[in-house]
Structure 1
Amino acid sequence: MEIRLNRRFLLASVALGGAASLFPGARRALAARGPGSVVAGESVTPVPLQDVRLLPSHWLDAVESNRAYLLSLSADRLLHNFRTQAGLPPKGEVYGGWENDTIAGHTLGHYLSALALMYAQTGNAECRSRVAYIVQELATVQDKWGDGYVAAFTRKAKDGTITDGKIIFAEMEKGDIRSGGFDLNGAWSPLYNIHKTFAGLFDAQTYCQDPNALPVAVRLGGFFEAFYSKLMDAQLQKVLTCEYGGLNESFAELAARTGDAKWLRLAKRTYDRPVLDPLMARHDDLANRHANTQIPKLIGLGRIAEVSGDAHWQVGPRFFWQAVTQHHSYVIGGNADREYFSEPDTISQHITEQTCEHCNTYNMLKLTRQLYTWQPNSALFDYYERAHLNHVLAAHDPQTGMFTYMTPTITAGVRDWSTPTDSFWCCVGTGMESHAKHGESIWWQGAETLFVNLYIPSRMQWARKDVSWRMETRYPYDGQVTLKVEDVKAPAAFALALRVPGWVKGDLSVTVNGQTVPATPSGGYLVLNRTWHAGDTVALTLPLALRTEAPVEAPHLVSLLHGPMVLAADLASAEAPYDAMDPALVTSDVVRDMAPVAGQEAVYRTTQAGRPAQLEFKPFYAQYKRRSALYLRCFSESEWHQEEGVYREEQRRQKDIAVRTIDVIHLGEMQQEHDHGLRADGSWPLVYRGRNGRDLRSGGFMEFTLKAKPGPLVLQTTLWSKDVPRTRGTRILVNGKPLPSLNWPADMHARFVDVEAAIPEAWTQGKETLSVRILPGGSRSNGPFFGVRLLAAGHKGSQ
């Protein structure tokens, strides 16, 4: 078994970063480009992050804001559980949010990576000293355990008591494996958690040259080597039904860094067949799968391919990237609704407040970089740029340094921001990393070619040719890009490849020292071959034009773009209530109806098309505290005349439900069930007719908590109409009291229906939450139940 330890593979692993999804038009762009490389056979890697410095821009603003946040956090507070579980006294109080739950410790791995990346990006010495401190603390904890173990997650026992998480491994070694979704023997995604620790240690070694990081990672790997050795393959498959992040990537990375083939064997065993076999067979089986659970696995397969030299392992990652970017992604580059993939090409049915999760985009960008090292193709960076600009920037408020979990695509949606010390969601962790490394994908290098893939103001030292470059631009607000050779030790001959985005229409121009020069088109790049001297200046002008895009299945649902930048109608402040009807466009040519707003960059206003009033479109990513309309229905005059009444009534119905909703749990979805404290017995999650749900067997129950408020309330449960007859005996208890009557629908046409029950007002007085328990009737199986919603009493809104 050959382990390849060359520079390309090492850089391919440490330079991966980001997260995201699809955009309309990607399929056409890829088809137009084809799979060709710029330079056949040339190995391509990113210019090391430490050799790139950002110049003033929105990207630098994000880095500086994130740096301030990182340095405001306490390493000792993030290390609290690591120390206490090993029997060491804590040096800081545990943080709140997810760090005070059974997933505790996941943030430290992200934080370690973010500090290491921030050191590489900025040279900040405090970041490096914190990395050294954290790694030393982890080594101390590991020494106390004595067997390589180092972690901070906890586990909740069946009686509700919280213990340290290590006990689950002893249970599983004995054959007691209770695995599914996010829960593994009472711990929340513990292997995902471990993957974050591995990744942080690797980044500490790569970017800070920490001498202790790899030894800690090797000893942690040894703990898992012993654990794996005690499991039969069927048992390990059961373990892997719980989210394990990119643990396969971690083991492959250990192989690359140590040269020891045993880690590669572990990486290959970390392969859950039900998910990965279809993707390796080029079959899109993603619908109703938790999106971010899957993406890191594919990155791991790619790392196995790189380390082993076996291209077979590339099949799944390549197919997965194509499927997600072309069939499962939104205009801003993100993917998934309520964290789950839907059926291919159904974006228009999933434009909600629960899109798009930042972690997904972080990992999709990481996968994109990986694919690019295998075969440089500018179409990969058409996607990368889309998601990096329109989703990653949108998920971070540069004024506060806080992060979103979801970036909603629903009209008038509001971005929900983290707090400094009481959130620590997964997307806070990936946000810390994303905004520490915006310089990592601008400049790429081959043996004789320098690639420019992103147009972000920056300075770069290219050690390979001993030449430094400076890029100045106001892109994507302006299409003018200037690149200057600031210094070169001696005149150097090489090719400069400038990416031409797939959306470019019309003429573009490129000059060197003010003179128009021939540029060879190749693989989506303009390639300048010459001998470069200090002071040489390249000027590239990319024509930025307005255009529209639409989901392939809904051509009348349009979004507006300016070059790579997605625009959205600016509706109102996020802080004020909003009850207006959703806006629409009535025109045969959206672009022609737009007029630029004087004195504002990339801001346009409808002249006649806006309904119910004219609309102003601004960059979506920057509408941090605004309500936006990202997707708008576009009608012809005749269509609008026919549909205006129906359109307004549907808008009224949807808004009535939204206004009355106090809380809702989407059953069968792991995160939703966890957030509502679901407990169940004799009940299993499932997917039916494209929707996640949960059935209920005789003798079982399901119980969860919903937020409440005083006053008359209605409990609404969604079922499939044909399942109503055998579910009529279901009993629903609120705070232990059975609801007096359920309003069962009489219409049995095949559709999703709502069963409603009024909650006596006396039951809600003084209550901020309600406990809801569902018990089955006499039938062997009740449901499936697809969701339970608590509403203020009012007019019934049918589905």
Structure 2
Amino acid sequence: MIGTATAVLSSCPALAAARSAPALSRAHPLPIHSVRLLPSTWLDAIEANRAYLLRLEPDRLLHNFRVFAGLAPKGEVYGGWESDTIAGHTLGHYLTALSLMHAQTGDAACRQRVDYIVDELAACQAAHGDGYVAGFSRKRGDVVETGKALFPELVAGDIRSMGFDLNGCWVPFYNWHKLFAGLFDAQTWCGNARALPVAVALGGYIDRVFAALDEDQVQRVLDCEHGGINESFAELHARTGDPRWLALAERIRHRKVLDPLSVRQDSLPWIHANTQIPKIIGLARLHEVTGKPEHAVAPRFFWETVTRDYSYVIGGNADREYFTAPRTISKHITEETCESCNSYNMLKLTRHLYAWRPEARLFDYYERAHINHMLAHQDPATGMFAYMVPLMSGAAREWSKPFDHFWCCVGSGMETHAKHGESIWWAGDDGALLVNLYIPSVLDWRGKRARLRLETAYPFGDSIALTVEQPGDGRFPIALRIPGWCRGAALAINGKAEPLAVTDGYARIDRRWRAGDRIVLTLPMALRTEPTNDDPATIALLHGPVVLAADLGPADRPFDGPAPALVAADVLAGFAPVDAAAGRFRTQGIARPGDLAFAPFFQMRDRRTAVYFKAFDDAGWTREQAAYAAEQARLRDLAARSVDVINLGEMQPERDHQLTAKNSYAVTYRSRHGRDARTFGYFEFRAQVRPGPLRLQATYWGEERNKLFDILVDGTRIATQRLDGAVPGDFFDRAYAIPEALTRGKQSVLIRFQPANDTTRCGPVFGVRIIAP
């Protein structure tokens, strides 16, 4: 997806001819409290998020913490996930977001909230008396109780791990990872003295749990999503120097996933994507605190593999939260792409790798995901967040509600949009100032006693102006990243054109600076196409670093047309600028079924969009139309033979067929509605029948895996269906004969779908038909 530094240099003649400077070996980000953002899209995001953070009530997020500590709550619990067994995870995110917001803006109210929350956590911990503090709960049947009840069970060897549920609690160690991170950030950015003791005491409680487990039991616990709890203990060791925490961090290693990655084997297909990224970040932190090179292998390999084989044009990854088969992006452009937490964590991982070896290509990826996914995942008009950022034609983003959702991507969104200044400015180990993101800002570089101002309309303008307001020590190199998409970059200092010294994708300037010195970097932007990693005929459009999308209408109106296509021998020749500086273009005669207006994808928050397009020449388009006509003829024949059609997952059709269900959910995937049944659940409905031989036809998605379920007609099992990924990349139908004895003399029958045993799931089933042969 992103070219290497060598490719960047060779494609830009002005840079290829320049002399090279020695490569840097290490770098570190300049602290966020030394950066102030200037008016821009990023500052708008910060301010929208700050308003939301200050609307939230800490006492409501602390509700469960106090109740489970035996203290009277001071506020009602929030809804959504905060009313489920994952309750409390938001508080950790919120602590981090408040701490970062204070550092980024100087907001005193945010720091006051941080101090209040830490005091409350300390009080809850003291009430427990053993270091425990948490807000999560657990379920035993219909009983909801404190999550603390599960840990004596773990210690006793009773470990029931089901991926996201551990002994009836939704991801407790993931939850604690967020809380640890919030406490660490409270210490780092707000100077809170009580945060680290709370973390140490909680660490002691968790250490005692793991001390009672053998290696097999540890791995069974880790089979449940646990976030980056290994990172938490690596960081606790870094802050305290206590080897106890380092030993625990290294013990919390999910071998099933991390061992293959550590020998450069791709273990990612068909596993939950965001469950893995924090574990990798934990290894990266372990590498930093121990210096052990083996801890660095998996993070590097994982980053390369995900960005090359699993990432979409906006920098996000995963479909329905899972990695698919590698290099199959064109087959997974759906309304369930790009969970926002994934990119939040991939950007964290990128920062670790960059600190080890500063390479511009790492920030080519970072910039791509930061602009096109992270900005897309917040609505600055409301401060709300999108869980998924869908790329399927006709899809629209679904926004959170302020007090009723609290998804994981709400929590990571609070953090993301509190820290847009954290990765603009870096310092190299040779004293160089590296500029990686072109976000308008002012840097107070205290280590050099220098002050610099970055002004630009980027990514909507190609001119970047960097002014040295205070030169401080005077002489230091400045290295400006040349993006991988750049062709023909130019540099001027104080109005005079200058040659570029380049290494690893940076224009490097080494001189003695004076107050008022002004660098102007020009990065010409052009419209270009980018194919998916598996199909050169499936393309996206970009202008400079910005992904463009076609406008398919307002989000509050349904889109039921065909996915648009582009038909031309030269696609780019069929685009005309409307306002190129704003990333706005329009097709001229090449779009089917009609011409389209294009704009930056991240800005189209209240629109239905198309991001990827099938590109055809005239002959290919003729073949496509013939295939479409043949499919319509097949569907007409099927409709003629259908006795009844049950559109699962749709309210009125399910009511019409008297559907009842337990532990079953309506789903939507690739614009098709369906329904599943989970462990111990089922769904059933009445279907019309008629005399004579009949078949029950059900539709499934071909890449469903590990599903085994029974189909019953009036209580008699007529089939057991296993879904094991046998039909990749498409929906498929399965027809089951209905014995005539089950329909004789009847006008309707009761159809039931249920898991075949207590460990599996059913479906999803994307519609059922009763058909005649």
| Same-fold status (TM-score > 0.5) | yes
Which TM-score applies when normalising by structure 1?
0.83
Give the drift of 1:650.
Answer: 5.9
Structure 1 position 464 matched with structure 2 position 447: yes
Cα distance between partner residues in 1 of 2:98 and 2:751: 42
Q: Does structure 2 conserve the Cα–Cα contact (< 8 Å) formed by 1:560 and 1:568?
A: yes
3-state secondary structure, aligned to 2:36: strand
Q: Tell me if the contact between 2:316 and 2:338 (Cα under 8 Å) persists in the aligned partners.
A: yes
Could you tell me how far 1:786 is from its partner in structure 2? Answer: 4.3
Separation of aligned partners in 1, 2:709 and 2:282: 47
**How far apart are the structure 2 equivalents of 1:191 and 1:744?**
35
Match of 1:76 in 2: 59
Match runs of 1:39-188 below 5 Å: 39-40=22-23, 42-157=25-140, 159-188=141-170
1:592 equivalent to 2:573? Answer yes
Amino acid at match of 1:295: I
Residues 225-270 of structure 1 show CA distances to partners (whole Å, capped at 9, x for unaligned) of: 1111111111111100000100000000001000111111100000
Structure 2 residue matching 1:220: 3-state secondary structure: helix
State the shift of 1:518 in Å: 2.5
Please state whether the residue corresponding to 1:394 is helix, strand or coil: coil
Letter in 2 for 1:644: Q
Code of the residue aligned with 2:311 in structure 1: it is S
In structure 1, the residue matched to 2:657 is none
CA distance in 2 between partners of 1:582 and 1:73 (Å): 40
Deviations 1:419-478 (A, max 9, x none): 000000000000000000001011111242000000011111111111111111111111
Moved more, 584-593 or 209-218: 584-593
Q: Helix, strand or coil: the match of 2:365?
A: helix
For 1:366, the equivalent position in structure 2 comes to 348
AA aligned opposite 1:557 = T
- Compute the displacement of 1:756 (Å): 8.0
Residue number in structure 2 paired with 1:789: 766
Q: Is the 8 A contact 2:709 2:720 kept in 1?
A: no
Correspondence list, 1:472-621, <5 A: 472-489=455-472, 492-505=474-487, 507-598=488-579, 601-621=582-602
Counterpart in the other structure of 1:26: 2
* Equivalent pair of 2:548/2:599 in contact (CA under 8 Å): yes
Task: Give the Cα–Cα distance (whole angstroms) in 2 for the partners of residues 633 and 144 of structure 1.
Answer: 61
Following the alignment from structure 1 to structure 2, what is the Cα–Cα distance between the partners of residues 119 and 757? 65
Q: Is the 8 A contact 1:584 1:611 kept in 2?
A: yes
Deviation at 1:169, TM superposition (A): 0.6
1:216-365 paired onto structure 2 within 5 Å: 216-365=198-347
1:379/1:652 CA distance change after superposition, 3 Å: farther
Could you tell me which runs of 5 or more consecutive residues in structure 2 were left unpaired when the two chains were aligned.
11-19, 640-644, 651-660, 666-674, 690-695, 744-749
Write out per-residue CA displacement over residues 348-374 of structure 1, whole angstroms, 9 at most, x where no aligned residue.
Answer: 111110011000000000000010000
Q: Percent identity?
A: 51
SS at match of 1:663: coil
Aligned to 1:668: none
Alignment of 1:664-675 (within 5 A): none
Aligned 1:698-737 pairs, distance under 5 A: 702-704=680-682, 716=698, 718=700, 730-731=711-712
Aligned residues of 1:581 and 1:652 also touching (Cα < 8 A) = no
Contact 2:490 2:521 in 1 (8 A): yes
Determine the C-alpha separation between the residues in 2 that align with 1:426 and 1:390.
19
User: Are the equivalent residues in 2 in contact too, given 1:742–1:756 (CA < 8 A)?
Assistant: yes
Cα separation, 1, equivalents of 2:341 and 2:586? 33
Q: Distance in 2 between matches of 1:170 and 1:142?
A: 18
Question: Could you tell me whether the CA contact under 8 Å between 2:273 and 2:342 is conserved in 1?
Answer: yes
Shift of residue 639, structure 1, vs aligned partner = 1.0
Q: CA deviation at 1:407?
A: 0.3
Distance 1:677 1:288 in 2: 23
1:488 positional shift: 3.1
Q: Residues 230, 627 of structure 1: CA spacing in aligned structure 2 closer, same or farther, 3 A cutoff? A: same
| Change over 3 Å in CA distance of 1:757–1:118 after alignment to 2 | farther
Aligned partners of 1:727 and 1:782 also within 8 Å? no
2:191 corresponds to 1:209: yes
Residue 597 of structure 1 aligns to a residue in which SS?
A: strand
Measured in 2, the distance between the counterparts of 1:705 and 1:453 equals 53
Q: Does 1:441 align with 2:423?
A: yes
Contact 1:290/1:340, CA 8 A, preserved across alignment: yes
**Aligned-partner residue type, residue 787 of structure 1:** P
Distance 1:317 1:521, change over 3 A: same
Contact 1:743/1:755 (8 A) holds in 2: no
In structure 1, runs of 5+ residues without a counterpart are 1-24, 665-674, 680-692, 761-769
Q: Structure 2: how far apart are the matches of 1:89 and 1:606?
A: 62
Q: Using the alignment, how far apart are the partners of 2:528 and 2:372 within structure 1?
A: 16
Q: Within 1, Cα distance between the matches of 2:123 and 2:761?
A: 50
Matched, 1:627 2:603: no
Q: Helix, strand or coil for the counterpart of 2:766?
A: strand
Q: Output the CA distance in 2 between the equivalents of 1:618 and 1:298.
A: 35
Q: How many residues align?
A: 717
Q: Residue 566 of structure 1 aligns to which amino acid in structure 2? A: V
CA contact (8 A) 2:273 2:323 kept: yes
Distance 1:546 1:256, change over 3 A: same
